[in-house]
Chains A and B, each alone.
Chain A
Amino acid sequence: AQKVTQAQTEISVVEKEDVTLDCVYETRDTTYYLFWYKQPPSGELVFLIRRNSFDEQNEISGRYSWNFQKSTSSFNFTITASQVVDSAVYFCAVDSNYQLIWGAGTKLIIKP
């Protein structure tokens, strides 16, 4: 069965610290896509990244970076030098055909 596990329900750090959000997935598919979304307190979904299962290169976008390890079925997300505006719930998801299978989310609290 397809499944996404985000074991960290809540993380709290002080501003400027680095923080890593874990994501472990299960899928039967040989080709699949992985996603991260941000959900700020306002409730909308903000797309952060989509990664093809064939592309195992790590990706960096400003203060955000993603570590995809196919061997351990993990797709972890790191925020460097966190800021208060990064406070949100972050979701990891895997594409199962046309359905997105979502993790339960990690609530990230950045304290000033």
Chain B
Amino acid sequence: NAGVMQNPRHLVRRRGQEARLRCSPVKGHSHVYWYRQLPEEGLKFMVYLQKENIIDESGMPKERFSAEFPKEGPSILRIQQVVRGDSAAYFCASSPPPGTSYNEQFFGPGTRLTVL
């Protein structure tokens, strides 16, 4: 029973490069959330996705950041032209389709992005 998988676990990029972070949800989960944790801070919501649909991207920076959750394959958080301020831990969570009980979010181990 695999939990949420994220890869890579650590990613180093130089300023101006692109970063691609992958998240494979728990099997059967159709909803994915991305959170960012800057150093010494709590997590901040970025985006909520359903397969092939963005439900809420109110926490996403307006530029350079995008997310998708295709019909097949993992969810991808993409950061273009990274800057030093993008250095953070990025956590993905998944949840099953909404039902009658609480829609628990299960967290992955995170991807630590370092921008040189």
Contacts and interface: CB of A to CB of B under 8 A. Distances in A.
A105 B102 contact: no
| A interface bracket (residues with beta carbon within 8 Å of B) | 10 to 19
B56 interface: yes
Contacts of B107: 44-45, 47
Contacts, number: 47
Nearest to A107: B40
Nearest to A44: B109
Contact of A100 (B45, B56, B112): B45
Contacts of A45: 91, 107, 110
A50 to B, nearest CB: 7
A43 B42 CA distance: 12
Is chain B's interface secondary structure helix, strand, loop, or mixed overall?
Answer: strand
A99 B42 contact: no
B104 interface: yes
A33 interface: yes
Contact of B45 (A43, A47, A50, A99): A99
A101 interface: yes
Interface in A60-112: 91, 93, 98-105
Interface in A38-57: 43-45, 47, 50, 52
B69 interface: no
Is chain A's interface secondary structure helix, strand, loop, or mixed overall?
Answer: strand
A3 to B, nearest CB: 11
B5 interface: no
A43 B43 CA distance: 12
Given A91-B43, A98-B56, A43 B112 contact: yes
21 contacts: A4-B42, A33-B102, A43-B89, A44-B109, A45-B107, A47-B107, A50-B104, A91-B43, A93-B42, A93-B43, A98-B33, A98-B48, A98-B56, A99-B45, A100-B105, A102-B42, A102-B43, A103-B42, A104-B40, A104-B41, A105-B42
Interface of B: 31, 33, 35, 40-45, 48, 55-56, 59, 89, 91, 95, 102-105, 107, 109-110, 112
